[in-house]
């Protein structure tokens, strides 16, 4: 099975930053993120995702507020790692596909072919106000609910533009012949001429085709509209089933061609009682019982391995685990869960591929313009 972790500050529990082993003074340092991602690589994980957004995480002052840019974190850590995939989150609602295509292509070069991007939409009126180009209705407004469907359609077009820009340079477009003075074969750079409801982009990119050809695109979905975006635009779909039967239904709804990966928030301990006690302590600090959009698992690594095996047999390609508190739950994943899965023959014992597409069993695609003899 494929296995990843989703990194969010000090952990997904809002009180995680108050744990004894947390490092709240280092959350905005490169060393902190390098340590987390090298720990994930030590566990042979396929990739990490890095959360991002334009709004603060909470209005409360007893929680972590503020974050670094996810793409820049990935770029900083890329030279410090060798195998693990790096998948930063990008909010596509208020950014431009040309800029993001260039940033992720650059990350693919910096990581020697280990880049991906998780695309995210934002219907928040507060986040829209940060840019001043749009005004969005509130979530309780019926127009706000319709807006989400529009933003998902916009995101699908956004990904299409990004993918075409990645293809706009053929793989051998760079000649680099000092003797003749020809650096680029102009005939192997192509206009993408995308014209849709949301974007009109001529192209080509200014960045040569990425090492993977197409870096990996991921998206998170909880319901039919987002499942449509995943099916149409993504290589990986993060989903939030409640049990194995639900997982099977989601996989069938999304359809073939996508690596469907389930999200779980995990609080792990040597015993069930130890894991439950730690989560209860965090809940007490937060002042409420933590819940999530994803299933919350509290127990031992062996129990989690059993659950993952059951859900994997339901058709899921793998799992993205959200550590409740860092470093405790991250280390429990890499140092306890991974060996347990290896004993069960369910997870790799070494890296066998050099790219993120290779980890996921995805072939390297040819440029669509090369095969079609584009302009």
3 state DSSP class of 286: helix
Burial grade of 334 (CB within 10 A; 0-12, 13-18, 19 or more): buried
Task: Read off the pLDDT of residues 117-136 as tens digits, 9 standing for 90 and up.
Answer: 999 999 999 999 999 999 89
Residue 140, pLDDT score: 77
Query: What domains, with CATH codes, occur in the chain?
Result: 2-372 (3.20.20.30)
Instruction: Residue 359: name the closest of 147, 113, 156 by CA.
Output: 113
Cα–Cα distance, 275 to 121 (Å, whole number): 34
The pLDDT, as a whole number, for residue 373 is 54
Nearest 5°: phi and psi at 318?
A: 175, -160
| Closest to 68 (Cα-Cα) out of 7, 19, 122, 113 | 7
pLDDT of residue 37: 98
pLDDT of residue 371: 63
pLDDT value for 96: 96
Counting as low any pLDDT under 50, the low residues of the chain are 374
Question: How confident is the model at residue 62, as a pLDDT?
Answer: 84
CA 41/CA 82 separation, integer angstroms: 8
User: Alpha-carbon distance 123 to 369, whole Å?
Assistant: 34
pTM, 2 dp: 0.96
- The pLDDT of residue 61 is 76
Query: How big is the chain by its Cα radius of gyration, in Å?
Result: 21
Nearest residue to 54 (alpha-carbon basis) of 64, 44, 69, 42: 69
Residue 161's nearest CA partner among 136, 195, 189 is: 195
- Count Cβ atoms within 10 A of the Cβ of residue 94 and give its class: 0-12 exposed, 13-18 middle, 19 or more buried: middle
User: Rounded to an integer, what distance in angstroms lies between the CA atom of residue 8 and that of residue 10?
Assistant: 6
The CA-atom distances, in angstroms, between 167 and each of 44, 85, 91, 136, 162 are 30, 21, 22, 33, 9
């Amino acid at each position: 099975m494929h296995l990843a972790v989703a990194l969010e500050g000090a952990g997904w529990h809002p009180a995680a930053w108050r744990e004894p082993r947390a490092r709240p003074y280092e959350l905005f340092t490169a060393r902190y993120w390098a340590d987390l991602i090298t720990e994930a690589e030590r566990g042979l994980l396929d990739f990490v995702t890095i959360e991002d957004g334009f709004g603060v995480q909470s209005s409360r002052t007893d929680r972590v507020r503020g974050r670094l840019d996810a793409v820049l974190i990935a770029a900083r850590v890329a030279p410090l790692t060798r195998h693990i995939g790096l998948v930063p989150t990008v909010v596509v609602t208020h950014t431009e596909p040309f800029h993001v295509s260039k940033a992720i292509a650059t990350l693919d070069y910096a990581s020697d072919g280990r880049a991906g991007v998780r695309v995210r939409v934002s219907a928040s009126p507060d986040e829209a106000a940060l840019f001043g180009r749009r005004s969005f209705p509130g979530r309780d407004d019926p127009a706000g609910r319709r807006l989400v469907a529009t933003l998902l359609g916009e995101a699908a077009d956004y990904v299409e533009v990004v993918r075409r820009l990645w293809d706009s340079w053929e793989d051998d477009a760079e000649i680099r012949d000092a003797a003749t003075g020809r650096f680029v074969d102009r005939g192997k750079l192509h206009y993408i001429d995308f014209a849709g409801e949301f974007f009109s982009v001529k192209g080509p990119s200014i960045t040569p085709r990425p090492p993977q050809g197409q870096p990996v695109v991921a998206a998170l979905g909880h319901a039919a509209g987002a499942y449509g975006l995943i099916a149409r635009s993504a290589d990986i779909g993060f989903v939030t089933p409640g049990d194995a039967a639900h997982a099977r239904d989601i996989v069938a709804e999304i359809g073939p061609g996508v690596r469907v990966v389930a999200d779980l928030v995990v609080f792990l301990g040597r015993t069930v009682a130890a894991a439950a006690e730690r989560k209860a302590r965090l809940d007490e600090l937060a002042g409420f019982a933590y819940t999530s959009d994803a299933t919350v698992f509290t127990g031992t690594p062996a129990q989690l391995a059993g659950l993952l095996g059951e859900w994997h047999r339901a058709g899921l390609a793998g799992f993205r685990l959200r550590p409740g508190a860092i470093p405790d739950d991250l280390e429990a994943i890499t140092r306890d869960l991974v060996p347990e899965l290896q004993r069960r023959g369910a997870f790799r014992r070494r890296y066998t591929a050099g790219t993120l597409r290779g980890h996921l069993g995805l072939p390297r695609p040819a440029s669509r313009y090369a095969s079609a003899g584009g302009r």
